[in-house]
């Protein structure tokens, strides 16, 4: 257990009344084995099923729980931006509220930043030693998307969209306002920018099980994310011209365990 830096863990929540309380308990129990200084921020994004009241009650009952409410749906990127800027920790992370990624990996996620000195850390469902259980349809879509990101945006990351990420505060905040997307592409844009700016990014394999109630609309979101790939490519090319044609160093390190 390390005791130096406060860890802020964000749970993005939209209509999660059936699971949010259990997720908070499991998350707190896991964090207590890693650090004695943490907060859990429930970034509750305009829920209509009572998630807001449950989150509020949890924040009143447990001093380490913070409830961040929005009256209207903001979308993944905007909700995460708001929560990250409200967080107090030197180590910032977020995980999907359905706990699709096995919590056994939370220690490595946090230690990658606090102990190993990486700026960004992300779990991966697509590395050779990853164990990911998902539908064929979603698997094909995800593989295709990540292939395009790696090819078009020169990323070294296998899996850009896994909802299991951690950040060094200063490194994140140096980039946060550069991320233009406010939806599902937010994760990808952040990781691509981090690599192009020369930050140390660690990717490691995880055990992952697809949730039953995904909020992703495959047709709509994949079309939008395809558009965002080319929008980001255009921005990076513009930066390249401004730098006199000298490309930024793309830095990342994928770790097998």
The catalytic residues are 187
The pLDDT value given to residue 135: 85
List the structure tokens of 206.
Answer: 């995880």
Q: What is the pLDDT of residue 107?
A: 97
Q: Which domains does the chain have, with CATH numbers?
A: 1-99 (3.90.550.10), 102-243+250-257 (no CATH)
- The strand order across the sheet containing 120-124 reads 65-70, 38-45, 7-13, 91-95, 164-168, 120-124, 201-205, 253-254
According to the model, what pLDDT value does residue 243 have? 65
- The beta strand positions in the chain, using DSSP E, are 7-13, 38-45, 65-70, 91-95, 120-124, 131-133, 164-168, 201-205, 207-209, 253-254
The pLDDT of residue 251:
57
Q: How far apart are CA 74 and CA 71, in angstroms?
A: 9
Query: What is the separation of C-alpha 253 from the centre of its chain, rounded to a whole number of angstroms?
Result: 17
How confident is the model at residue 253, as a pLDDT? 72
| pLDDT the model gives residue 223 | 75
Interatomic CA distance for residues 209 and 47, integer angstroms: 24
Spell out the per-residue pLDDT of the chain, length 257, in tens: 445 789 999 999 999 999 999 999 999 999 999 999 999 999 998 899 999 999 999 999 999 999 999 988 888 899 999 999 999 999 999 999 999 999 999 999 999 999 999 999 999 999 999 999 988 888 888 999 999 999 999 999 999 999 999 999 999 999 999 999 998 899 999 999 999 999 999 999 999 998 755 555 556 666 788 889 999 999 998 887 776 554 444 556 777 65
Q: How far apart (Å, rounded) are the C-alpha atoms in residues 108 and 121? A: 9
């Amino acid at each position: 257990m390390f005791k130096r830096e406060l860890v802020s863990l964000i749970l993005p929540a939209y209509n999660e009344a059936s699971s949010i309380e259990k997720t908070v308990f499991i998350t707190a129990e896991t964090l207590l084995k890693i650090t004695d200084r943490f907060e859990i921020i429930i970034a509750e994004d305009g829920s209509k099923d009572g998630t807001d009241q449950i989150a509020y009650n949890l924040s009143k009952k447990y001093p380490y729980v913070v409830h961040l409410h929005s009256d209207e749906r903001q979308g993944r990127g905007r909700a995460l931006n708001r929560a990250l800027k409200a967080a107090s920790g030197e180590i910032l992370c977020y995980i999907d509220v359905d706990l699709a990624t096995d919590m056994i990996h939370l220690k490595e996620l946090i230690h990658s930043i606090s102990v190993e000195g990486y700026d960004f850390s992300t779990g991966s469902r697509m590395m050779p030693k990853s164990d990911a259980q998902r539908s064929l349809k979603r698997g094909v879509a995800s593989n295709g998307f990540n292939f395009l990101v790696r090819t078009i945006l020169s990323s070294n990351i296998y899996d850009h969209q896994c909802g299991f990420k951690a950040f060094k505060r200063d490194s994140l905040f140096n980039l946060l306002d550069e991320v233009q997307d406010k939806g599902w592409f937010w994760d990808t844009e952040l990781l691509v920018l981090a690599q192009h700016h020369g930050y140390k990014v660690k990717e490691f394999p995880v055990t992952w099980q697809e949730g039953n109630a995904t909020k992703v609309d495959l047709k709509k979101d994949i079309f939008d994310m395809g558009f965002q790939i080319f929008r980001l490519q255009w921005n990076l090319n513009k930066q390249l011209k401004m730098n006199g044609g000298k490309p930024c160093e793309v830095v990342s390190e994928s770790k097998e365990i």
